[in-house]
Amino acid sequence: MVVGGWDLGDAVRVAEPEQVDVVVVGLGVGGEEVAGRLAEAGLSVVGIERNLVGGECPYWGCIPSKMMIRAANALAEARRVDGLAGTAQVRPDWAPVAKRIREEATDTWNDRVAVERFTGRGGRFVRGSGRLEGPGRVRVGDQVFQARYGVVLGTGTRPAVPPIDGLAGTPYWTNREAIEVEELPESLLVLGGGAIGLELSQVFARFGVRVTVVEAMDRVLAVEEPEASEVAAAALRADGVEIHTGVRAERVDHDGERFTLRGAGGVEFTGERLLVVTGRRAHLDELGLDTVGVDASQRYLPVDDRMQVTDGLWAVGDVTGEGAFTHVAMYQAAIVIADLLDRARHARAGADPSGTASVVGGAMGAASALSASGSSGSAGTVPRADYRALPRVTFTDPEVGAVGLTEEQARARGINVQVGFSKLADSTRGWIHRVGDEGFIKVVADADQGVLIGATSVGPAGGEVLSGLVVAVHGAVPVSQLRHMIYAYPTFHRAIEAALGNLH
C-alpha cells in the first residue's frame, strides 16, 4: 500500500537481521573500548549508543569533575600561602572552570570526535537504544543485527534517586546538572556523603557556595576505613561544609526558589539547589534480557571471570556491579576483547567456539593475529578477572585512596588480621608540608599468609601513594619483603614503611 509516497508495507515489514561479528550496546568507557579494539582487529562490529559515545566519564563524571577539583585545589593551595610564603589574595571565579569543561572536556557535550574515533577504527556506529531480541540478536529502531560471535552490554548506570516524598517533580540536580553548571548557586544541599557527593561538595565550597551534606549512614565515605571518613569530614568542615550524618531524608519541598529537606526527627535544611548523589543503578529492565533467559530484576548483571553473562553474551563496566570505576571498565574490557577474539579465532578455525582453550598471546596478540593472519598465533590464555587489588580513589583534598579489604571486611571474613597505622604528619615529609598534611597510611595484613590484603592511603597525594600498596596487594608481596625495601626520603610514601613497622 502506497500513501503519499510512503510504502506502508515496507514500514511494517519485520526487518531481516543483518549478520555481523559482534554487537556492542552502550558505548561508554567499557563498550567503546571493546567495540573499537575488536573493530581494529578486523571483526565487523556494530556499536550502539543512545546518548554520547564515551559515556558518563568524559562528559559528566571523572574528567570534568577532576577539572573542577584541580581548580578548587588551586584555590586551596593559594589560601595556604599565608603563614608559609607570604600572603595571597584569592578571588574565585567559576567562569574559567565552566569554560574549560565546556570547551576542553566535553566539546559542549558533543561526541562527534568520539564517533569519528570509533568509525576510524573500522566500527559501524548506530545511534539509538539497543535491545536484545534473543540470543545474539539486537534491535535498534527498525534495524536488527545478528551477532556471529557475541553481544556485549556496556550500558552503565544512571543516578539512583531515592523515593523521598516530594522529591520527584522538583528541579533537583544529579551529577549531570552539577557538572554542567555555569553559574554557582549561593547555597547547595547535597544528599549523599559518598565519593561523588564529597568531591563536588568540597569543590563548590571552595568556590564560595554554602554547602550542607546530609548522609543517612553514621559517617561519610561509609565504604572506606572509619579513619578515612574522619579525615575527609574534618577537611570538608575546614572548607566550611556542614555535614550531618545519620539523617534519613523524609521529605523534599521546593517553593520555586529554595529547597527544604526534612529528615527523621524533625531536622530541616534549606538551600537554593539540591544535589542528589545517593548511588547509581543499572536499568536491566530495558535490555530485553528475558529473551536470552536472564533475570532482569537483579540490581546488576552478574558475570563470570571472563565477563560472560551467558553463552554469547558479555557485560562490561558499571552494569556488572564489580566496581563503578573507569579503571574497572577498562580492565574488564581487556578481558572481553581477549575472550571474544579467542571465540572468533576458534570459530574461524572450525573449533568449538564455546571451549575455554587458549588465545593468541592475550588481547593484543590475538588482535594482531586475527587482523594479520585470520586465525593463528602463539599460545596464551584469556585473562580472568581478579578484583582482590581493586583500587579506588576519592579525589577530595586530602585524597582518600584504598585497595582491597578494609579492616572490618577482613575481620568479617574470619581472617587473622593485623593492622598497621601511621600518620602523615609524623613523617618528615608531612612535617615539612605542614598546612594540608592531614592523612595516614593504614595497612591490613593476613597474618597467616604474611601478605597485605588491604590498605588505605589518605593525604595530599593519597591516590598516587596508593600505587605501591596496590602492587603489594596484587602481587601478594610478603610483608617481610615490604619491610626491607628502600623508601625514598623524604616522600609521603615513607609513611608506608612506618605503618608496616607497627603491624600488630
Ligand X SMILES: Cc1cc2nc3c(=O)[nH]c(=O)nc-3n(C[C@H](O)[C@H](O)[C@H](O)COP(=O)(O)OP(=O)(O)OC[C@H]3O[C@@H](n4cnc5c(N)ncnc54)[C@H](O)[C@@H]3O)c2cc1C
Binding site for ligand X (CB under 6 A): 25-26, 28-31, 48-52, 55-57, 60-62, 65-66, 129-130, 154-157, 175, 196, 286-287, 317-319, 324-327, 329, 395
Name the residue type at position 496: I
Among 375, 298, 382, 277, smallest CA distance to 340 is for 382
490: preceding bond cis by omega (within 30 degrees): yes
Output the smallest distance, CB 292 to ligand X, in A.
14
Output the smallest distance, CB 22 to ligand X, in A.
15
- Please, which residues have CB within 8 angstroms of residue 217's CB and are 6 or more apart in sequence? 193, 245, 246
Output the smallest distance, CB 46 to ligand X, in A.
11
The DSSP bridge partners found for residue 120 are none
| 284/370 with CB nearer ligand X | 284
Output the smallest distance, CB 83 to ligand X, in A.
31
Output the smallest distance, CB 8 to ligand X, in A.
27
| 111/339 with CB nearer ligand X | 111
7: cell is: 510504502
| 55/271 with CB nearer ligand X | 55
The helix/strand/coil state of 187 is strand
Output the smallest distance, CB 285 to ligand X, in A.
11
First to last CA, the chain: 82
| 328/344 with CB nearer ligand X | 328
Rounded to 5°, the CA angle 266-242-89 comes to: 155
**Helix (H) or strand (E) run with residue 37 in it:** helix 29-40
Output the smallest distance, CB 210 to ligand X, in A.
21
What is the residue whose three cell numbers read 531536622?
267
Output the smallest distance, CB 499 to ligand X, in A.
25
Output the smallest distance, CB 67 to ligand X, in A.
11
The DSSP bridge partners found for residue 391 are 403
| 66/248 with CB nearer ligand X | 66
| 269/325 with CB nearer ligand X | 325
In angstroms, the CA 44 to CA 148 distance is 10
| 173/440 with CB nearer ligand X | 173
- Please, which residues have CB within 8 angstroms of residue 25's CB and are 6 or more apart in sequence? 31, 48, 130, 131, 138, 151, 152, 153, 154, 155, 287
| 251/283 with CB nearer ligand X | 283
Q: With beta carbons less than 8 A apart as the criterion, state whether 187 and 271 touch.
A: yes
In angstroms, the CA 366 to CA 371 distance is 9
- Phi and psi, residue 438, nearest 5°: -65, 140
Among 317, 313, 325, 293, smallest CA distance to 138 is for 313
CB atoms within 10 A of CB 160: 15
| 391/420 with CB nearer ligand X | 391
